[in-house]
Amino acid sequence: MTDPIADMLTRIRNASAAGKQEVVLPMSKIKYEIAKIFKEKGLVLDVEVAKSKIKKNKSFTFDEIKILLKYKKSGRPAIANLKRISKPGLRIYADKDNLPKVLNNLGFAIISTSRGVMTNKEARKKKLGGEVICEIY
């Protein structure tokens, strides 16, 4: 897999469209930080790290991220649109003065900065730039 973040976003998008209650992903620090931002913004119900039920061999287990998806009363997913911006073949960086505004600040972008993964609004307050990972609206 060349882009695990795009895989994560695609799994969330597909599970939401199919009406699934949870998404299970292989663990990585950046995916966990992105999922925590989704929880802070109220787009998912819960994020937890669990040991895998499937053992690849007898002595090796791996961690997984379980994301419980949130739906509106109408049954539509809380996450309307996820869009990957910076990709392995074309990295997109923004300095503190050129951070993206998503749908006139109705949505938000997730930025990977030198001080961790955060939303574009938090990065603007802290006067940080970084790699624009994705946009959510």
pLDDT in tens, 89-121: 999 999 999 999 998 889 999 999 999 999 999
Same structural domain, 52 and 89? no
- 25 lies in a domain? yes
pLDDT in tens, 14-58: 999 999 999 999 999 999 999 999 999 999 999 999 987 766 666
What's the chain's average pLDDT? 93
Range of the domain at 112: 82-136
- 31 lies in a domain? yes
Q: Whole-prediction pTM value?
A: 0.90
Buried residues in 32-51 as b, exposed as e (16+ CB within 10 A): bbbbebbbeeebbeebeeee
- 30 lies in a domain? yes
